[in-house]
Amino acid sequence: MSLVYGSEMHRFQSGERHFAFLVPSSMVLELDPESRGILDRLGDGPQPVDTLAATPTAGEALKELAQLGAVGREGAPLIPLSQPLTPQSPPPLSTLVLNVTNSCNLSCRYCYEYGDDRLEKKAESAAMTEETARQSVETLIAESGANKKLQLTFFGGETLLNWKVLKPTMEYARRRATEEGKFIDFALTTNATLLTSEIIRFLADNHVGVMVSIDGPPELQDAMRVFSNGRGSYDLIAPKIKELLRVHRSRPIGARVTLTSAGIDVPGIFRHLTEELGFFEVGFAPVTSSTGQDYAIDGAGFDKILEQFRQLADEYVRGALEDRYVGFANLSDMLGEIHQGVAKSYACGAGLGLLGVAPGGEVGLCHRFVGSGDHDFGNVATGIDNSKRVEHLEKAHIDKRTDCRTCWVRSLCAGGCYHEAQVRYGDRFHPNLHYCDWIRSWTALGLEVYGTLLDKNPAFLDRFDERKAV
């Protein structure tokens, strides 16, 4: 007699309502008592069809579970809902990240560009020339295929150190995109030290997305984000940020916080950045580091972050139930992915639709890899080496990551950041095993929030239809 087994899934509930997140399809299903009963019984191991489908109703529920891949029959081929295979040719580009300069006027101790954990760099020019920036624009357009909406992101170093190239490049890119029947969008990351009224005006008028790197209130900001003489940067940037947020209303502006062992106070940082400075959203990222750095976050630190993320998530839910948005970007990003049912074959878009360009024009996997020698994917002056992209996509596919094979969050995490892995394990294809438990707990928390919102304010979730997957 044929046996039925339960597929991989994560169950969660809100009140009396029960849900399942299916792996690897990333479908979220609500279960009625009948289907729930079947899944509960399959928790003890495979069961014969006849015992599970003892009544016509149970048979009906079992059939539905099978149709959606929530159960399978032993020996039967898998239903075609698993991730797609490696593309034979790399997909067209949608995003280029330009490292417009490698210089920075700050000397943040944890910086992967300048600090102790930088990848080995070969000699390269420090600031991108206007010509290289234009070649980058042409490369993006030429490699974009049928993509109509393109994104040019500026990164550094400190991007505004090269404002004299940024500004004409945006004007040039907009003109060229229009000529080609495409639309191009801009974004930049800055430490805010060099913002002027004129720059802010330009950013606002041109709908440029702005992400400000800032670590929080003065004591945290000034602990790590310092000038080369050791002086803190908070007092300089606070008024500039306030002006930016007052004048630039055409795009929501976010803050990106690097968490280090210097101080983990997620709710405090969040309140400071949203309530006192006025940011729309705040995203938190633990510092990227090899082991042994004094600013690195240890296991206890990660537990603390998770606990504080949970507190902020509670605040998020309270807001959402009143249709008020609490700008906790990490949670919104995850809810967006859950809502859309994103099932990743790759950890991120690097190499897929996104590439990075070094100041000298060398193309790399992303902005974190550019100019690091053996990671080069060509040059904007001579063309992208697409064979390198195919090679990357073959090696980085989730199906190649045996460590991830039995993990229920693999379709959302897919192994994590390539650069983190490079720094930590010396191999960008290595899954980031040091935070697996953390990611699973965090994803479980996200699904819990999703369930609560499904139950109590499902209309709130509609706003995630448009949120870009990260």
Partner 1 sequence: MKHLAPRNRKAEAVVEWLEAEQGEVVALQNSPPPHYPPGCTTVFSPGWEVDTAGGTAGLCQPVERDLYDCYKTCYWPAQVPDYLNNNPDWHSACASATRDWRKIDLVFP
Q: Which positions lie near partner 1, rule CB under 8 A?
A: 19, 22, 25-32, 34-35, 60-61, 64-65, 67-68, 70, 81, 338-343, 450, 454, 465
C-beta of 86: minimal distance to partner 1 in Å? 21
Query: 184-218 burial string, b = 16+ CB within 10 Å, else e?
Result: bbbbbbbbbbbbeeebbebbbeeebbbbbbbbbbe
C-beta of 456: minimal distance to partner 1 in Å? 13
Nearer residue to partner 1 within complex by CB, 26 or 139: 26
CA distance 272 to 266: 10
Nearer residue to partner 1 within complex by CB, 57 or 386: 57
Nearer residue to partner 1 within complex by CB, 134 or 456: 456
C-beta of 19: minimal distance to partner 1 in Å? 6
C-beta of 181: minimal distance to partner 1 in Å? 29
C-beta of 34: minimal distance to partner 1 in Å? 5
C-beta of 328: minimal distance to partner 1 in Å? 20
CA distance 376 to 144: 19
C-beta of 65: minimal distance to partner 1 in Å? 7
Nearer residue to partner 1 within complex by CB, 57 or 178: 57
Q: How open is the CA angle 61-67-69, to the nearest 5 degrees?
A: 105
Nearer residue to partner 1 within complex by CB, 208 or 447: 447
CA distance 150 to 181: 11
Structure tokens at 157: 């170093």
Nearer residue to partner 1 within complex by CB, 25 or 101: 25
C-beta of 264: minimal distance to partner 1 in Å? 32
Structure tokens at 194: 């060099």
Judge contact between 386 and 89, C-beta under 8 A: yes
Report which of 36, 25, 132, 130 is spatially closest to residue 84, judged by C-alpha positions.
25
Nearer residue to partner 1 within complex by CB, 71 or 370: 71
Q: How open is the CA angle 296-221-242, to the nearest 5 degrees?
A: 145
C-beta of 311: minimal distance to partner 1 in Å? 26
Taking residue 88's Cβ as centre, other Cβ atoms within 10 Å add up to 8
Nearer residue to partner 1 within complex by CB, 93 or 338: 338
Nearer residue to partner 1 within complex by CB, 29 or 204: 29
Nearer residue to partner 1 within complex by CB, 241 or 335: 335
Report which of 37, 74, 69 is spatially closest to residue 53, judged by C-alpha positions.
37
Contacts (Cβ under 8 Å, ≥6 apart) of 77: none
Nearer residue to partner 1 within complex by CB, 28 or 211: 28
C-alpha 170 chain-centroid distance? 24
C-beta of 367: minimal distance to partner 1 in Å? 30
C-beta of 16: minimal distance to partner 1 in Å? 14
